[in-house]
Structure 1
Amino acid sequence: MSSSFILLQGTASFFFAQLANALQARGHGVQKINFCGGDVVYSGSCEKQDYVGSSADLAAWYSELFKRRGATDVMLFGDCRPVHVPVHSVAEAHGVRVHVFEEGYVRPNWITLEQFGVNGRSLLSRDPAWFNQHRDSIPPVPESRHTGYNLRERAYHDIRYRLANAVYARRFPHYASHRPCNGALEYAGLAYGMAGASRRERHAANVTSTLLVQRAHYYLVPLQLNSDAQVVHHSAFAGVMEFAATVLDSFARCAPSDTALVFKSHPLDTGLIDHRRGVFDLARKLGVGHRVHFIKAGHLPTLLSHSRGVVVINSTVGLSALHHDRPLIALGAAIYDMPGMTWQGALDDFWTSGSSPDRELYQTFLSHVIDQTQINGDFYTRSGIAMAVSGVMNRLERRK
């Protein structure tokens, strides 16, 4: 039976265009909604419509669109983007299924597709008893194929998308991007960072080597991006520095005196906010400057496997920490935050009482997450998009 799909804003790539082609080839109706110039450039050959109104009118517009199209399904990338915020309540009122794409919970080689929402809005169970009860019925983790993903191709599409936004700006006078600053600033920061990449790698390698040679007891704190929806919408922190300050304050008061703290910046951090300086300034004020390290690169598996514990907001690095059997505490809403996998007590107590995760529970959880929400592919390369589209179609047909 054919369905009527509405495709809202996708990634800065041809993923939604290729997905629309696949849906139409299976006999489904498809309409793509464009909110900005980048959407226009990447909308493909399906039927499309522009939304040029204000955010205040968007919910009513969605309601009319769903009625007029007889919509059965709506697809979008990132359920916290401003243009997507009104969708859930309107879709529920009209009986429309919501499918949300996001970067993979499991990386690399996977993308996320969930019904209703992702991350803090995910409907995945957080009850360890549920996983123990269903352990025997959850398929094992399948082998993933490499997608060919590379950062250069992703950056090319992102720049092209942003340029199109500028070219078509008058056509979409009310559009406000979910990105916190303009592309020129972001890419200037990334370019500056790339110029010093080898120096940062050497520094990170030296810090890591020193910690390992000294058999130091250290905790790892992977930082996220300030603009990450996980931080903005699914945590109580106003930004990454507020999180870092919370961790530093607790560490200074409660962590054993022979332990160290290692902050690692996000690989895509533009450096427009100097987190390193902020961390060291506060560490010195708290009297622990000599016990704190800040690195902007480094081999994450090595850092994780030798750490005494890991502190995150809700980063996907948390899953890597669990994979490496490390004690973990999540200070924001995370799909993996549950008894038996993460520390459920206070941060002050984590430094001395954090324990390793239940391996069997973790393996069952990971198998369920991949079976229900992950698709082998990526959003940016030809090979990865082809794999992802094929996986999405198989997933949709499996659930009919």
Structure 2
Amino acid sequence: MQTLFFTVNKKQKTLFENLKKKSQCEGKIIYSKKLFLPSLSALRYLKQVDLSKPIALKTKDFKAKFGFESLEFFIKAIYTFLAYFNYFRYFNAITEEYDQILLWNGILFRQAIALEIAKLHNIQPIFAEIGLLPNRIVLDRNGVNYLNSVPREKSFFEAYHNDRPLPDTLIPRNPKNAKKFSNVKAIQLPQKYIFIPFQVDYDTQILEFSPWIKDMRMLFDVIENITKITDINFVFKEHPSSIKNYTDLHQRASKNDQLYFANGHTTQELIEKSDAVITVNSTVGIEALLFMKKVIVLGNAFYTIDGITKWAKSSNELSEILRDLNGWKPDPCLIENFLKYLYYDYLLGSNFSTYHHDQKEKLTKLLEGISL
């Protein structure tokens, strides 16, 4: 089976080189930035490709980062040109000689364009991403995050069994803006609180899979309003990779004795000391389950499973869940089975130097489309 590894940056290239080496699968790694020459033969298939989704997503991404709502027409026009320009650049590299294409995430701008070309040749996709649990990566033929193939049925995890232990330490991320919180001091945390991690407003998790929370400012507004009807304390932490400035939200929090920003604390500490975690659909929600915390999800997430988490699809639903927070008892056995399935059955190890035979075999089967 011939595999095309489509990469758009050096980190992806390194990861895919390791995957190719460890699996010993046949194929080629291409780096999108080095595909310079447009293909005129791509004109024949122009009416068969649909680039509207990557164009729309990239336009939303730009507006979420920088605003300029009034310039949406021009922003969309620029990304329309870039989408078709990349389509012509990638066309000769993604050919029918390949059986499958491995790419990052799948719905991001350049990857989605590559995927449209792959569809022309019936090339099957495999989607990759880092994370969900410490030292793990995702390889999934359905997609990543909300689109992944993890079972959603409570009965599946009730029947699952695994005696091996789970990790008890989170691996700190290496964010794009690593120095953002380097000089931020820790605060005196309230004795009891709910932890709310901010996400990146322009991440696909928010742009594509958050039906009612538009961005982190709206999330803050929702929680601020809830403090008017409850005495619960809420602790926020900004996402270190975000380029957004929330100085105004810090000022509003300073005037409300139930709201705190704790950028100087580690995520693990904030999870461990909390009574519960509210997240749109962040990986922090899964990490909180490692510490058997109550997790309330506001967006579309694959871990909204009865007995494991609560799903609030509106501000009113969130308020109702919080009113009965003390009476809600998640199922610890179900949570443990869910996490063990992720860690041992669904995910792959990200430390390639420690790959043993079972991990190599699992990787090979995933790339060859063999059921595990």
Please, what TM-score do these two structures have when normalized by structure 2? 0.72
Equivalent residue letter for 1:232: L
Task: Note closer, same or farther for the CA distance 1:192–1:359 as it changes in structure 2 (3 Å cut).
Answer: closer
Letter in 1 for 2:332: R
The one-character-per-residue Cα deviations of 1:273-308 (angstroms, maximum 9, x if unpaired) are 222532542x57xxx712111111214344323323
1:241 equivalent to 2:266? Answer no
Q: Give, in angstroms, the shift of residue 94 of structure 1.
A: 4.6
* One-letter amino acid of the counterpart of residue 7, structure 2: Q
Mapped pair 1:96 → 2:93: no
Query: Pick from 131, 135, 158: which aligns with 2:160?
Result: 135
Match of 1:229 in 2: 204
Letter in 2 for 1:122: N
CA distance in 2, matches of 1:305, 1:191: 24
Q: Secondary structure at the match of 2:224?
A: helix
- Percent identical among aligned pairs is 17
Cα offset, 1:96, TM superposition: 3.2
The equivalent residue for 2:74 is none
Aligned to 1:116: 142
| Structure 2: 5+ residue stretches without partners | 40-81
CA distance in 2, matches of 1:140, 1:61: 50
1:77 counterpart (98, 101, 104): 104
Asked whether the equivalents of residues 297 and 304 of structure 2 are also in contact (C-alpha less than 8 Å), the reply is yes
1:56 to 2:84 alignment: yes
Partner Cα distance (1:119, 1:366) in 2: 15
Contact kept? 2:32, 2:90, Cα under 8 Å:
no
| Matched AA of 2:214 | A
Q: Distance in 1 between matches of 2:262 and 2:203?
A: 20
Does 2:27 align with 1:30? yes
In structure 1, the gaps of 5 or more residues are 41-48, 156-185, 378-383
> C-alpha offsets along residues 34-82 of structure 1, whole Å, 9 cap, x if unaligned?
222xxx5xxxxxxxx557584136668878755x442212111222310
Structure 1 residues 323-332 or 384-393, which shifts more? 384-393
Amino acid at match of 2:141: Q
1:376 lines up with 2:352 in the alignment: no
Residue 205 of structure 2 aligns with an amino acid whose one-letter code is Q
Aligned to 2:365: 398
| Alignment equivalent of 1:252, drawn from 188, 213, 227 | 227
Confirm whether residue 357 of structure 1 aligns to residue 330 of structure 2.
yes
Equivalent residues in 2 for 1:147-296, closer than 5 Å: 190-191=178-179, 193-194=181-182, 196-197=183-184, 200=185, 203-204=186-187, 207-208=188-189, 211-212=190-191, 217-236=192-211, 237-249=213-225, 251-254=226-229, 256-257=230-231, 259-266=232-239, 268-269=240-241, 272-281=243-252, 283=253, 289-296=256-263
CA contact (8 A) 2:153 2:305 kept: yes
The structure-2 alpha-carbon separation of the partners of 1:128 and 1:92, relative to structure 1 and needing over 3 Å to count, comes to: farther
Deviation, structure 1 residue 118: 0.5
Counterparts of 1:305 and 1:30 in 2: how far apart (Å)? Answer: 44
Aligned-partner Cα distance in 2 for 1:95–1:234: 27
Q: Is the 8 A contact 2:201 2:216 kept in 1?
A: yes
Q: Secondary structure at the match of 2:310?
A: coil
Task: Tell me, yes or no, if the aligned pair for 1:223 and 1:263 is still in contact at 8 Å.
Answer: yes
Pick 1 or 2: higher relative contact order, CA cutoff 8 A, min separation 6: 1
Aligned match of 2:45: none
CA RMSD of aligned residues (A): 3.5
Residue in 2 that maps onto 1:106? 133
Q: What is the alpha-carbon distance in structure 1 between the residues aligned to residue 290 and residue 333 of structure 2?
A: 11
Compared CA separation, residues 310 and 57, structure 1 to 2 (3 A): same
Q: Contact 1:114–1:122 (CA<8 Å) still a contact in 2?
A: yes
Per-residue deviation, 1:20: 3.7
